[in-house]
Amino acid sequence: MSQHLRDIIISGMGSSSGGSFQRVRIDGVGEINGDIVCASFVSNGKGKIAGSIQTDKFEVRGMCTVKGNMQAVHSRIDGTASIDGRLIGETIEINGTASVAFDCEAEQFKSHGSFNIGGLLNAGAIDIKLLHSCHVREIGGENISVKQGKPLSVFNKLFSSLFSSPHLETDTIEGDKVVLEYTKARVVRGTQVIIGPGCEIDLVEYKQSVQLHENAQVNSHIKL
């Protein structure tokens, strides 16, 4: 782009109608009333995007809602983000809570928190550390790992034990290398599958190898 792009910085309360920008930063309460294209988007506090967003870097500390689709090369969610469309990017890191209404695509997906994805989670490397309950319709990818996350403090542990213990719920998981813990799924398909403790799985289909933990509930497993 030949024209020099400007920044939006909202400190306190403010709104913008959207457009193309260099940097967008919200400290406080900010609203973008339209589609936005920018190099970086940082929201500390409460951000709201009424349209779609396309950016290289997306960071949320606090709360942020996106009404449309989100395309972010690198996104990091340290608070709460909810996206009413699709989320597409290269790397996605969740250290808080994220909800995505439709599909979620990335080369690397890392979660150390909780998420709710209404569509397919498709990523090359999926690394999920469970801290709260996570829901997703389907998971597909190359390396998929779901592990029990270490709670950060005693306080945290106390809280999570009051409610349901952290687990992942999904319909189908398909990948090359699949390692699971505390996962409820209907079908798990993969080349190498390791089912760890706390899993409840109806059917496991594998090509090369399977390992089942004694504390896992697997109704049937077949080699293809």
Partner 1 sequence: MDEQLISKKELLELTGISYGQLYRWKRKDLIPEEWFIRKSTFTGQETFFPKAKILARIDKIIDMKDNLSLNELADMFSPNLAEMALHKSDIINRGIVSTMALQYFTDQTGDADAFTFERLIHMYVLDRMLHTGEMSLEEGKGLLQVLRDHYQRFEGRSCELMLVRKMGVSTFLLSASPGEVYFDNGTKLVSHISLASCLEELKAKLT
Binding site for partner 1 (CB under 8 A): 105, 107, 122-124, 140-143, 171-172, 174-176, 186-187, 189-191, 203, 205, 207, 224
Q: What tokens does 64 get? A: 């942020």
Question: Sign (positive/negative) of CA torsion 59, 160, 174, 193?
Answer: positive
Q: What tokens does 25 get? A: 């930063």
Question: Is 148 or 192 the residue whose CB approaches partner 1 more closely?
Answer: 192
Cβ distance 78 to 64 under 8 Å? no
How near is the Cβ of 94 to partner 1 at its closest, in Å? Answer: 18
Question: Is 10 or 195 the residue whose CB approaches partner 1 more closely?
Answer: 195
Question: Is 111 or 170 the residue whose CB approaches partner 1 more closely?
Answer: 170
How near is the Cβ of 186 to partner 1 at its closest, in Å? Answer: 6
**Neighbouring residues of 86: CB distance < 8 A, sequence distance ≥ 6:** 69, 70, 100, 101, 102, 103, 104, 105, 119
Question: Is 150 or 186 the residue whose CB approaches partner 1 more closely?
Answer: 186
Question: Is 78 or 90 the residue whose CB approaches partner 1 more closely?
Answer: 90
How near is the Cβ of 191 to partner 1 at its closest, in Å? Answer: 6
How near is the Cβ of 167 to partner 1 at its closest, in Å? Answer: 20
How near is the Cβ of 160 to partner 1 at its closest, in Å? Answer: 30
